[in-house]
A and B are shown apart, each in its own frame.
Chain A
């Protein structure tokens, strides 16, 4: 049996203002029966979002020099373990338990009471798992700002704490009856919860850590651009589950979530190509991959609220601020190494604002600015600022505390220059074995 507290929060997610009466009876019914079609789609979506974190590892891993490829990829992969297990232990409960305005409760710690019973039209356990994949990738997203210069233990501690202290509460705010959801902030699949949140944390973390030793001195080029494209492709594929699955059903809304996700990044790619062309005379592959991600991020909050043509507009418009921010950032002293803030923070914020602009009542039940509801844009801006401020402050505090306890967040400068793979993991990404001598006795 699903607890009332959780259902209320949940309802806030699905039942947007103006739809309450319409959907309410359906929800009551939904408690009673699992729909195999909806469950099939949510099973698929859960797998798809899980794959995104592997895709992210390649997107990020291809962008760094080869001496840091494993460290970068592991920052994503280790989130499967740390963020995944902690989600089951307490994160899910903090996000979806109880009905406080700011944070959930501990009533579902260790998944107590989370079983095969229906929650909406899918098994409760599946809803929990689906949300868990979001917790994993949000933590991993931040790592793009930290590559090449952070003690691995400190990184693990950071994402562990951040997931419980920042991510879970913010989910509660927006999707489980918290103050932002209550205000009517629209965030279909996590533009604010996931992307603005991770982007803000990345910005703060990049500043706390400081730039890499050779940042701005030496060129640190992507060692494997095909990996970047592979990552972008896997992310796009997985994002169908991220956005399409956020409908929690295989219906018209789920289809809208998926189809907007298909078209928006296409528009971003086209605009980005023009910007690249006018700036450097050439369309670049790294730019193309970046455009895909920016488009995906921007459509995330809007995916269940706008039409495909609205999605194309959002995708196209979102290219501009991210493009120019990233261009400026690379010439600045801010070593947000893989532009998490530029792509996810700005892309997510722009997407969230444009959700308030392009929302179509016929799609998701809420009208946006273009349909005469300017107030929605204001609500969206409040949500963005709320999440951004909390995430920045909490990130700084967490990192400072970890740094103080663990004797600094970074390895010695000369070690960092040798590359994190060798010094933090004792491995090379691409070993030839030349000059490697077997040590057979035990160490």
Chain B
């Protein structure tokens, strides 16, 4: 039994479930941080949260508003410099799971966080790469959390900031990227996973109350559905309560609106 919940809550809970206990997770601010902390507070108490600010093993009591909040440093096992976090920990191959968001993604889970429109004369200048190009290449696995819409799920990226499966098939392996790449895209409507050979994203689990037409209507390419497409289990009462408690504590601490999320990688 679960109480009523929002689509954002469904997305966050679905993302949190992806994180296995004990995994070392490179976390960006916003939805990824919320999902990773929800996982830590529910089924994955030994998940290790690594923030690109250098906090390793952070156990924040409230959600950080920035990637380098003081609480991350205070609750971490250790805090290292920014060069070290990227050199020894990410590039060093010590990260099991990287969480990423994006302004645009394509059917092969390539990501754009740089510009909408041409690079030299952009319609919208986005924040840029941050850690994403190297998270997407060096983390052993990547999870992408993003709200689904035709503006976001595009036929063709305006700019490839970070590699997913490139042109699909074995293109990623041929480019010799160290990590496996995206293993799932979690949205407010469904979960998509790369097809085993083509590597095109296909819907593998549909959130409660969502139908295939809605998903297709929020995707600019002709989205495929896996043969055995599951129904996502709704958030449990416990998941919802832990998530809401976390967001309430965060709001009390920051005076922050809980939806405040930047596209920081």
**A and B pair up:** no
Binding site for A on B (CB under 8 A): none
Which A residues fall within an 8 A CB radius of B?
none
